């Protein structure tokens, strides 16, 4: 999930969300609400869901819930292939692997070329050389990791005093005189309270601005490097990486995320006296590399030219093995087409599986696809992506005309049985499908319980074991049902 | 807390513990029980607690709960001094710092010499060079850390195939033919279910045998290195270090703890084919170093020769900064003497503060003290230690004569007000005071909620922020009240 999709939501929306979560938790009142809604939908316009289609959707749901196909695919992506940062051999291996699997299912596979940034992490280490009260000949280790896209320090590192600010206002107040030649630490805390309320995205949105814009803000005042407190939940001495964005008007300085514990320690020590850090970061920005979106079509029987995308992003950060971000989304989409093949169900419209490349540090996959397929955008009926992990799904969120929710209301009765009947309209959507959404294509994001998502997000701990097999299957069921429904109702979704 | 104190407890004891925890959570039934017990105690023998003493104890409790002295001391130990592995400059700095603080309080301070093992962590890295399904020219990183006392690999590392066993039986079943020349991974899972029930110790006891005895068991069958799945709770890609014990009859092979995630990954990959690992561990075992137990006496007014020890261990592992293990115990003991000074309360017997050295990898502090003070052991009335973190205290556990609990029963009425009225007899106690306990000295261990203790135990995440200020103060209050009571009742505790 990218920062783009995480604009700070209002408190009212938060309350609505909590209400929605509590609804999803108790099935009986929900059952009534779902029935009432279904009745309302029926009253206002004739349902596009035939009894036959409803039966097929239940069949798909049940088969997806019982399948371990997605889980096995995820094990392979994470354990056998590993981290899949854009431009890496693992990303390429993943492209080939996914293409092979889709061909084995009998789909029409294309590798659609995408030029991607090719950033490679180097050595990274930091320690405090001088600080109040230190034992002779000792240093304090600082756990950190370079932000994606960071420039390097010299190989031998840099040494400078650390100044700590909690926000941009405090940086501005310090001014050039107190910042020049220093390493600036942005110690903005991730709001664990908001995250614990099942709304990690809002907490993320508040903090991630420092990861994106902090380094250039510090550089404008003469800082020699910038550190940001990790944007993430629980504190297990884990640094959370993620892309930074250098502004055109500022010098590019090395940038890293420090573990929350180390940010706390430096905040404490700098109140007592001078703190000097030695920092080594040796990442490299190599020339852009050729990579691919993997597309695979399950052709529709009646309107093969009309397309419903099911997708996740295949690239991941390099610290963990990209299980929740976003191997999970890719394998849910794989499961969607696999289950239809397994059940010999052919949708009226074409369901196009896409494994996007380069969501994490460039979004070149999503952008390139929207550009290359611009002439065909009117035939894209919907674009579905999951990119918020694999927590228990409660439903989905859509962009586009509010009528979409009315039309798809009969799905609530099906998805309710696995706790995922909620549907709502939103202003934005997952990153890879957002260029299509902006071009008018209704976009759908799976709506998950993401309370623990930001504990692991962009860290070394984003590994296979973090995905609950049952919850992954629940998500695959939602994506499968949603895609097949949109691909099979008589009318394409309005736009 | 050392493995010694964590023998697997029976299921019956576990149930009792859960019952006790539930009692501690609800104060009203407990209140009745405490009153009844107090009445019973009064019926069987006259209370040694005068109204004056009870008033003083309440005063001590309140002052300790309100104080931030312990917290500030812990911040200094962890943030300003840092990790304090035996023999390190930080351990020495901590000795001098604590001695200085105790002198400032006006106590009689001694540095009692202890020769300690001096093991120094070196480089440590591991990656899978060959494994099924890997992308060309890639490796999978394995997160691990050397076990304390481990010998080194050659500087360039070793490369060998990995074999995974879940327990000693599976190792034996493999036999020399399948183990020789290999790296053995003991993949015994920490029982998170037991740990979640507030009894991490039992889960720890089950798993820690592999950390201690695993390397020699593997070496006897010709293994070239041994890995153990980390002994600890939640999985955040954290390796948990700890001491290993080489047996005299086996070659000494390099030994490391791998993060739970990496153990899972290797277990998965080895079912598919050959997995080869490159492993670099370059720790050094230096000559034993001179270090110190810090002792500081608050002399008793009537029986200065009679001693009540309050203590924690000052050394820590080197990955984190030793906040919960066991800076917390040290500062509770500091708070105990500080609060008596602050309140101008002088106990009848001497309260001796001790910051033990070398609990983690040798127990030389506790052993040396017991040996050096053997002639005076009969004057040691009690030895109190806290070494299970700083979670909310529910009471204390004692070794010795069951009468001790009866005599101290009036404390329940005081400690109940902060949720810590439980007392019970146990067979063993905290490591540093166990040599004294074995010599007949009643030993007391603080009894805490340790549900999260093993999530951080022996990891880089054992840092200052893991200690809740209120809970630390609650613990300091228990230790202060307990120590002052034992030091002030008319009769010394029976033995």
**Residue A325 or residue A16, greater confidence:** A325
Q: Which position among B124, B359, B416, B474 bears the catalytic label? A: B359
Residues A270 and A250 sit within 8 Å (Cβ to Cβ): no
pLDDT at B206: 78
Which of A6-10, A123-127, B160-164, B446-450 is predicted least confidently? A6-10
pTM, two decimals, is 0.91
Question: Residues of A numbered 447-476 whose beta carbons fall under 8 angstroms of chain B's beta carbons: which are they?
Answer: 455-456, 459-461, 463-466
Q: Which CATH homologous superfamily contains domain B3-118+287-488?
A: Zn peptidases (3.40.630.10)
pLDDT at B354: 99
ipTM comes to 0.89
B294 touches chain A (CB under 8 A): no
Report whether CATH 3.40.50.10490 matches the domain A122-282.
no
Contact B134 A80 (CB under 8 A): yes
Nearest Cβ partner for B460 among A132, A136, A237: A237
Which stretches of A109-248 are DSSP H helices? 168-179, 192-196, 200-220
pLDDT at A44: 54
Say how far apart CA B483 and CA B350 lie, in whole Å: 10
Spans of all domains in chain B: 3-118+287-488, 122-282
pLDDT at A1: 47
DSSP string covering A255-277:
EEEEPHHHHHHHHHHHTTS--EE
pLDDT at B466: 97
Question: Residues of A numbered 319-358 whose beta carbons fall under 8 angstroms of chain B's beta carbons: which are they?
Answer: 320-321
Identify from B72, B80, B91 which residue to disrupt to test chain A contact, counting A C-beta atoms within 10 A and taking the largest count: B80
Report, as ranges of residue numbers, the positions in chain B whose pLDDT lies below 70: 1-45, 196, 198-200, 234
Question: Residues of A numbered 28-57 whose beta carbons fall under 8 angstroms of chain B's beta carbons: which are they?
Answer: none
pLDDT at A459: 97
pLDDT at B129: 98
A210 touches chain B (CB under 8 A): no
3-class DSSP state of A154 = coil
Residues of A in contact with B275 (CB under 8 A): none
Mean pLDDT, residues A348-361: 98
Our CA-based measurement puts residue A222 at a distance from the nearest CA of chain B, in whole angstroms, of 28
A236 touches chain B (CB under 8 A): yes
Eight-class DSSP state of B326: I
**Per-residue pLDDT for A234 more than 50?**
yes
- CATH number among 3.40.630.10, 3.20.20.140, 3.40.605.10, 3.40.50.2300, domain A3-117+288-488: 3.40.630.10
pLDDT at B87: 98
How many angstroms separate the Cα of A446 from the Cα of each of A133, A220, A418, A421, A462? Answer: 51, 39, 14, 11, 19
Say how far apart CA B313 and CA B108 lie, in whole Å: 19
Q: Closest chain B residue to A465 measured between Cα atoms?
A: B261
What count of residues does chain B have? 495
pLDDT band at A45 (very low <50, low <70, confident <90, very high): low
Which of A161-175, A436-450, B201-215 is predicted least confidently? B201-215
Mean pLDDT, residues A81-100: 98
Residues B366 and B432 sit within 8 Å (Cβ to Cβ): yes
A396 touches chain B (CB under 8 A): no
Q: Closest chain B residue to A266 measured between Cα atoms?
A: B79
Phi-psi region of B113 (alpha: psi -120 to 50; beta: other; left: phi over 0): beta
Catalytic residue at B359?
yes
Edge-to-edge strand ranges of the sheet holding B276-281: B140-142, B124-130, B276-281, B158-165, B183-186, B225-229, B255-258, B144-146
Residue whose entry in the numeric block shows the structure tokens 């929740």? A324
B88 touches chain A (CB under 8 A): yes
Count of A-B CB contacts under 8 Å: 125
Closest-CA residue to A483 (of A309, A326, A306, A342) = A309
Contact A143 B80 (CB under 8 A): no
Cα first-last separation, chain B: 25
Question: Residues of A numbered 249-288 whose beta carbons fall under 8 angstroms of chain B's beta carbons: which are they?
Answer: 260-261, 264-265, 268-269, 272
Angle between helices B27-44 and B11-25 (to 10 degrees): 110
Which of A19-28, A103-112, A173-182 is predicted least confidently? A19-28
């Amino acid at each position: 999930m990218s920062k783009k999709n995480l604009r700070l939501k209002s408190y009212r929306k938060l309350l609505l969300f909590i209400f929605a979560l509590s609804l999803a938790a108790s099935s009986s009142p929900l059952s009534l609400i779902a029935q009432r809604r279904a009745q309302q939908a029926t009253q206002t316009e004739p349902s596009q869901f035939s009894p036959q289609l409803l039966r097929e959707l239940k069949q798909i749901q049940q088969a997806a819930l019982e399948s371990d196909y997605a889980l096995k695919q995820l094990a392979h992506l994470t354990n056998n292939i590993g981290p899949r940062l854009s431009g890496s051999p693992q990303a390429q291996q993943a492209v080939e692997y996914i293409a092979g699997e889709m061909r084995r299912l009998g789909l029409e596979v294309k590798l659609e070329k995408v030029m991607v940034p090719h950033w490679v992490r180097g050595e990274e280490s930091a320690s405090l050389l001088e600080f109040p009260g230190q034992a002779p000949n000792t240093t304090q280790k600082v756990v950190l990791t370079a932000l994606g896209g960071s420039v390097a320090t010299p190989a031998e590192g840099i040494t400078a005093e650390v100044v700590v600010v909690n926000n941009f206002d405090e940086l501005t107040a310090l001014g050039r005189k107190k910042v020049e030649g220093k390493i600036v630490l942005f110690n903005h805390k991730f709001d664990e309270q908001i995250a614990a309320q099942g709304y990690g995205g809002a907490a993320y949105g508040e903090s991630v601005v420092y990861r994106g814009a902090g380094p250039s803000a510090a550089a404008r005042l003469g800082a020699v490097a910038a550190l940001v407190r990790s944007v993430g939940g629980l504190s297990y001495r884990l640094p959370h990486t993620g892309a930074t964005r250098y502004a055109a008007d500022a010098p590019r300085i090395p940038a890293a995320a420090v573990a929350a514990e180390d940010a706390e320690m430096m905040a404490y020590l700098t109140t007592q006296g001078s703190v000097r850090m030695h920092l080594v970061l040796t990442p490299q920005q190599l020339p852009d590399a050729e990579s691919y979106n993997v597309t695979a079509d399950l052709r529709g029987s009646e309107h093969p030219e009309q397309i419903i995308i099911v997708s996740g992003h295949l690239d991941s950060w390099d610290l963990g093995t990209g299980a929740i971000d976003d191997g999970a989304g890719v394998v849910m989409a794989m499961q969607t087409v696999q289950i239809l093949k397994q059940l010999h169900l052919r949708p009226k419209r074409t369901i196009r599986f896409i494994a996007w490349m380069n969501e994490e540090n460039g979004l070149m996959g999503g952008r390139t696809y929207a550009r290359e397929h611009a002439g065909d955008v009117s035939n894209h009926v919907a674009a579905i992506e999951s990119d918020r992990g694999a927590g228990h799904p409660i439903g989905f969120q859509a962009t586009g005309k509010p009528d979409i929710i009315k039309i798809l209301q009969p799905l609530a009765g099906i998805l309710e049985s696995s706790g995922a009947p909620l549907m709502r309209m939103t202003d934005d959507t997952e990153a890879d499908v957002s260029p299509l959404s902006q071009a008018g294509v209704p976009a759908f994001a799976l709506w998950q319980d993401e309370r623990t998502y930001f504990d692991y997000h962009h860290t070394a701990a984003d590994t296979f074991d973090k995905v609950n097999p049952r919850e992954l299957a629940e998500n695959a069921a939602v994506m499968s049902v949603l895609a097949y429904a949109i691909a099979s109702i008589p009318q394409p979704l309005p736009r």
